[in-house]
Structure 1
Amino acid sequence: MNDSAGDTLRSQLQALNEKFAERLNDELTELDQRAEQLPQAREQEQRRHMMFDLHERLHRLAGTAGTFGFTTLGEQSRVLEQRAARWLDAAKPSGQALSAFVSAVRQLVAAERAGSLERTPAMHAERQDAMAAGCRIYLLEQDEEAGQAMCQTLGNFGYEVLLFPEIALLQTAVQGQLPDALIVSQHDGELDAVSALQQSLDAPLPLLVIGHRVDFVSQLAAVRAGAKGYFTRPLDVTRLENSLENILNLQLSEPYRVLIIDDDEDLAARYSLVLRNSQMLVETLSDPSQLFDVMRAFNPEMVLLDMNMPEFTGIELAQMIRLNDEWLRVPIIYLSAETDINRQMAALLKAGDDFITKPISDNALAAAVYSHVQRARSLSMALSRDSLTGLLKHADIKEQAALEVERALRSGKPTSVVMLDLDHFKQVNDQYGHAAGDNVIRSLANLMRQRLRRIDSIGRYGGEEFVAVLPDCPADQAKRIFDEIRERFAALTFHAGARTFSVSLSAGISETNGSASASTLLERADQGLYAAKHRGRNQVQIAQPD
């Protein structure tokens, strides 16, 4: 590029930077005002709507600020965007987390306006890789070497881990920004301080404790501090990560979905308000003729059904729902003033699972619905998920692949199917035992869950073989993703007694092409996996279309 052309480009970039800076001032004002208004919202739905708006604004800012040289602003916006997403995903969002988030947003705006955030020249500004999309973990560990090793291993799983060698530093950090979980290495007096810290919060943080002994007194102290898991040295970090992942999945699970069918719209509205206030997603239906459309669109996990309606009985509607195999797992709870036990039994024998007798208090309604829908979700998960990994079973991941391939053919957007397999896994079982082998399988499942998107599907296809379905993702991008997963997995250290070992994986990838079926894509991915094994293992290969 000659000097004249370079000057022209710099001039144009400068003009764009100035235009962005003018727009940025307005965006920061709007961001600050909306953050200020967020805690004032009384209804949870309104708060969620406002948080979603802030999430979208931070998303846009994270994607544009770095391009125009506002590097730190972009990076911090990305972090705040992820915090907003975690709050939105939580079944019961924390008020403390909300307050901390609002404070962080307003501090970021103030820092940018004060000019205290670092910038880079726009000509060379590149969008930085975002912080790992996983959860933020605070680790209290006096042994710096052990702490750094733990940070590295958990980092491979996608967590952002901050190490604190002293309890006072941890306390200060928690006051500034809440983590998603705490891991504490047990030392004299520290658990008492951690327990006091937990009691000072609106809601205690998920806590895992690493002790030096397995005796009763040590574990009692951990439980009193609020521990959800207890581990001893030598520490199996992959087992600790599995416990951490299970705890955080409970924290961030999707809200329960409840459908209320009642011709009394005012009563249905009240029930809906009560359940929404308990962090559930609720749809109401007063016209039963729309039943099937609403069931398919909303996909409820539970149906609350009025027994007596002008043109239909609740029993008839329940029987109609039960005619469809896809809804056999959905519990149906009758809402009725009927107290005759014989009539209730007759209704339950035809269809339905339980009765809630009108009138019912708000608290009793919320408790009854919550217990039923929680059990229903657990049962559904148990039926469709592999017990060892929590991933979809063979038949279910094949069904998900078929759904995504059909969607890709309609939208014209690519979907990638990935088949992967652990290398030399029989040797792992033979040399270290099946318990160690199960730990390896579980760790790979957790790693994939951490590194992939919420819209991606993962299943255990067989023994040590897995399938992943990535919508709106071309094969070359899927390869980059699974090469990273492969490298992170190979860096993990597994324990079998006093022995340690590592395991690698191989993968094959296929991409939707023309009218190829899901079974064809699975076959191609399997061919890619075979090629990866044949070429030396520990690699990812893209299968060539026929």
Structure 2
Amino acid sequence: MSDSSAINEELQRHLNKLGEDFAARLGQELPQLSRDGQTLLHQHGSAERLKQVLQLRDQLHKLAGAAGTFGLAKLGQRARELEQQADAWLQALQQGQQNLEDFCAGLAQLAQLQLDSETPDKPATPAKKPRAVTPSASARRIYILEDQAAIGENMRLTLNNFGYHAEHFSRIADLDAAMQGCQPDALIVDVNLPDEQQTGLEYAAALQKHLEHSLPLLVITTHDDFATQLEAVRVGAQGYFVKPVDIPQLENRLERCFAQQQGEPYRVLIIDDDRELACRYSLILRGANMHVEMLHDPAEIFTCMHSFNPEVVLLDVNMPNCTGPELAQIIRFNDDWLRVPIIYLSAETGIAQQMSALIKAGDDFVTKPISDNALVTTVFSRAQRARLLSDALSRDSLTGLLKHADIKDQVGIELERAQRSGKPASVAMLDIDWFKKVNDNYGHAAGDNVIRALANLLRQRLRRIDSLGRYGGEEFLVVLPDCPADQARRVLDEIRQRFAELHFIADANEFTVTLSAGIASTENGPASADALLETADRALYSAKNGGRNRVQ
């Protein structure tokens, strides 16, 4: 049995267990609703009667949302009808005995729709993220189809400097032959191929149809018209670049494509007082490779938001003591959480009520019951958009690394962690040597290529737990948790040597560049993040004064 089959079977067992627990709950809840209805008939005093109908209405509202999710569509629909009947009775303040008797009779009949009279719908196979082609552990392979040799070769050399394994093909036949031998991780295609019978887009469309999993596709062209861009979208292009191509921007889009394929699981927080329903949502989303936490007590929201840092919040509208819209507004009090989309979950079908909830800090409204596939699709699309937005706001557009303020914050975070754990952390400042001369002699585009190449080299050579940021124009900051100074020096010296070996080309001129670095460590007991940064800065200054192209 494959790992995925075993996971699916385990997930199905958990879902079946939840269904059994929900059925057992109904066995107690439905007869109690019927008894409460009989009590209501004999209730004296309008205030007591009103209070009890309100309680019954809330129970029916929860049942209407949960029953359909567990496959009991008829029960859920009947509960919704009775909820609406209770609402109408309450709103019109009709206390006539006949109206009340009809409502109570409906409660008695509800128990007859229990499991012996309705077979739960078979749960759909949980939707999962489409499986992407996994790039190799080594350098990602990029195929370039470009009929102009100079443009194609320049792109190949530059992407190789950025850490990819790029290959350039001038003819479709040559690219086809390479595809037979080894499939790439991404494809870059020129639209205009005058010596071919197909355009680049026609070739890409035919190629993708024959692949088991489509490749990330970037399009380059001399055309900037709407029709060509529309055709590119229709063949699945994820990037569109007009010549002369800004290669750092193109590489940035490539990196974004791969990040979407191999990114960390999206973090989803579910806040719902119905534990069985929340558990079901959690299992479905986890089955779709998402990281899920559940919260049943709204008062714990601050601790949970800080520790879990969710990318999406699924929030029940109707909860005791604190409604969903009230909790959403509390979340929005904190500026750090303004980017987090809030999706309301409710059996509420009234447009006015939904709009009222959305106006109060929500981003989307999903009506219960919701199918497994619809739940995964809704959450995945919102989480994906939220992560892209967060990255766009916190990351440098040229390098894709953290911006100055964000990487500086990481220094403080790692210093606190090192002080708690007793494990050393190191901070390194890196600066490209004689960078002004690069810009003066070869142009700012060449300078951008050098900066981007160093950013990619750092990304490839450092660990996932390390933090990387662009601290200034040609200056970088690296934060290395659980890393003593001597180990940091070995790692950065290797990066220094590798960077010095790269060859850059600008207007047929070839050149190389070096870097200098300064390291500071928590082993020396700095009192603050600022002190740690100042120590690293002094070490960098010493490396510069010592002749450059060294780690101090």
| TM-score range relative to shorter protein | 0.5 to 0.7
Match of 1:520 in 2: 531
Given that 1:494 and 1:500 are in contact with CA atoms closer than 8 Å, whether structure 2 keeps it comes out as yes
1:61-105: CA deviation from partner (whole Å, max 9, x where unpaired)? xxxxxxxxxxxxxxxxxxxxxxxxxxxxxx9462776xxx9xxxx
Q: Does 1:487 align with 2:497?
A: yes
Give the drift of 1:44. Answer: 9.5
SS in 2 for 1:248: helix
Q: Does 1:203 align with 2:213?
A: yes
1:244-275: CA deviation from partner (whole Å, max 9, x where unpaired)? 32332232222221111112223323433443
Q: Does 1:536 align with 2:547?
A: yes
Give the drift of 1:399. Answer: 1.0
Give the drift of 1:301. Answer: 0.9
Give the drift of 1:350. Answer: 4.5
What is the alpha-carbon distance in structure 2 between the residues aligned to residue 369 and residue 497 of structure 1?
48
Q: 1:246 to 1:223 in 2, by over 3 A?
A: same
User: Quick one: percent identity of the two aligned structures?
Assistant: 61
Q: Does 1:170 align with 2:147?
A: no
Match of 2:185 in 1: 180
Q: Does 1:443 align with 2:408?
A: no
SS in 2 for 1:506: strand
Give the drift of 1:319. Answer: 3.3
Give the drift of 1:459. Answer: 1.1
Q: Does 1:380 align with 2:390?
A: yes
Match of 1:254 in 2: 264
1:25-45: CA deviation from partner (whole Å, max 9, x where unpaired)? xxxxxxxxxxx6325335298
Q: Which of 1 and 2 has higher RCO (CA within 8 Å, sep 6+)?
A: 2
Q: Does 1:264 align with 2:274?
A: yes
Which protein shows a greater Rg? 2
Give the drift of 1:162. Answer: 7.9
What is the alpha-carbon distance in structure 2 between the residues aligned to residue 220 and residue 369 of structure 1?
27
- Counting only pairs closer than 5 Å after superposition, residues 20-39 of structure 1 correspond to structure 2 as 37-39=2-4
What is the alpha-carbon distance in structure 2 between the residues aligned to residue 202 and residue 395 of structure 1?
43
1:405-460: CA deviation from partner (whole Å, max 9, x where unpaired)? 22122222221111011222223333444344333323322222222211110111
What is the alpha-carbon distance in structure 2 between the residues aligned to residue 499 and residue 220 of structure 1?
38
1:454-508: CA deviation from partner (whole Å, max 9, x where unpaired)? 1110111122211010112222322232233233333334454555544322211
Given that 2:143 and 2:168 are in contact with CA atoms closer than 8 Å, whether structure 1 keeps it comes out as yes
1:115-137: CA deviation from partner (whole Å, max 9, x where unpaired)? xxxxxxxxxxxxxxxx9744355
Give the drift of 1:236. Answer: 8.2
What is the alpha-carbon distance in structure 2 between the residues aligned to residue 310 and residue 339 of structure 1?
20
Q: 1:328 to 1:412 in 2, by over 3 A?
A: same
What is the alpha-carbon distance in structure 1 between the residues aligned to residue 140 and residue 442 of structure 2?
31
Instruction: Name which of 131, 135, 150 aligns with 1:94.
Output: 131
What is the alpha-carbon distance in structure 2 between the residues aligned to residue 531 and residue 45 of structure 1?
58
Q: 1:477 to 1:446 in 2, by over 3 A?
A: same
Given that 1:455 and 1:471 are in contact with CA atoms closer than 8 Å, whether structure 2 keeps it comes out as yes
Equivalent AA in structure 2 for residue 474 of structure 1: P
Q: Does 1:470 align with 2:480?
A: yes
Q: 1:347 to 1:208 in 2, by over 3 A?
A: closer
Q: Does 1:460 align with 2:470?
A: yes
Equivalent AA in structure 1 for residue 551 of structure 2: V
What is the alpha-carbon distance in structure 1 between the residues aligned to residue 351 and residue 224 of structure 2?
51
Given that 1:506 and 1:538 are in contact with CA atoms closer than 8 Å, whether structure 2 keeps it comes out as yes
SS in 2 for 1:263: coil
What is the alpha-carbon distance in structure 2 between the residues aligned to residue 218 and residue 327 of structure 1?
39
What is the alpha-carbon distance in structure 2 between the residues aligned to residue 372 and residue 343 of structure 1?
22
What is the alpha-carbon distance in structure 2 between the residues aligned to residue 398 and residue 301 of structure 1?
22
Q: 1:376 to 1:151 in 2, by over 3 A?
A: closer
Mean Cα deviation higher: 355-364 or 262-271: 355-364
Q: 1:419 to 1:154 in 2, by over 3 A?
A: same
SS in 2 for 1:43: helix
SS in 1 for 2:390: helix
SS in 1 for 2:449: helix
Q: Does 1:418 align with 2:457?
A: no
- Name the TM-score, length of structure 1 as normaliser: 0.65
SS in 2 for 1:258: strand
SS in 1 for 2:523: coil
Aligned alpha-carbon RMSD (Å): 4.2
Given that 1:493 and 1:501 are in contact with CA atoms closer than 8 Å, whether structure 2 keeps it comes out as yes
Q: 1:142 to 1:319 in 2, by over 3 A?
A: closer
Structure 2 alignment gaps of length 5 or more: 13-127
Given that 1:242 and 1:446 are in contact with CA atoms closer than 8 Å, whether structure 2 keeps it comes out as no
Give the drift of 1:339. Answer: 4.5
Match of 2:47 in 1: none
Given that 1:486 and 1:504 are in contact with CA atoms closer than 8 Å, whether structure 2 keeps it comes out as yes
Match of 2:5 in 1: 40
Given that 1:96 and 1:202 are in contact with CA atoms closer than 8 Å, whether structure 2 keeps it comes out as no
Structure 1 alignment gaps of length 5 or more: 1-35, 48-90, 102-130, 542-546
Q: 1:340 to 1:149 in 2, by over 3 A?
A: closer
Give the drift of 1:195. Answer: 5.1
